[in-house]
Amino acid sequence: MTDWNPAQYLRFGGERLRPALDLMTRIQLDSPETVYDLGCGTGTITGILKERWPESKVTGVDSSASMLERTRDVETGVYWQHADLNDWRPDSPADVVYTNAALHWLDNHEQLFPRLMGVVKPGGVLAVQMPENFSAPSHTSIADTVREGAWRERLAPFQREQPVSEPSFYYDMLSPLSSSIDMWETTYMHILEGEDPVVEWTKGTMLRPLLDNLSPEEGEEFVASYTKKVAKAYPRRANGKTVLPFKRLFIVAVK
Ligand SMILES: C[S@@+](CC[C@H](N)C(=O)[O-])C[C@H]1O[C@@H](n2cnc3c(N)ncnc32)[C@H](O)[C@@H]1O
Among the ranges given (15-19, 32-36, 146-150, 251-255), the one the predictor scored with the smallest mean pLDDT: 15-19
Residue 20 near ligand 1, beta carbon < 6 Å: yes
Cα of 62 vs centre of ligand 1, distance in Å, is 6
In this structure, which amino acid lies at residue 80? W
Dihedral, CA of residue 93, residue 250, residue 43 and residue 98, to nearest 10: -10
* Choice from 5, 10, 105 to test ligand 1 binding pocket (greatest atom count within 8 A of CB): 105
**Percent of the chain at pLDDT exceeding 90:** 85
> Which domains are delineated in the chain?
6-134+162-194+241-254 (3.40.50.150)
172 has a pLDDT exceeding 80 = yes
Cα of 182 vs centre of ligand 1, distance in Å, is 23
SS3 (DSSP) at 242: strand
| Residues 39 and 20: beta-carbon distance below 8 Å | no
Q: What is the mean pLDDT of the chain?
A: 93
pLDDT of 16 reads 83
Rounded to whole angstroms, how far apart are CA atoms 36 and 59? Answer: 5
In tens, the pLDDT along 100-142 reads: 999 999 999 999 999 999 999 999 999 999 999 999 999 999 9
1 has a pLDDT exceeding 60 = no
For the stretch 237-248, what's the b/e string if a residue is b when 16 or more beta carbons lie within 10 angstroms of its beta carbon?
eeeeebebebeb
9 has a pLDDT exceeding 70 = no
H helical segments located in the chain: 6-10, 13-25, 44-52, 65-69, 109-118, 137-148, 152-155, 167-174, 197-203, 208-211, 216-233
Residue 84 near ligand 1, beta carbon < 6 Å: yes
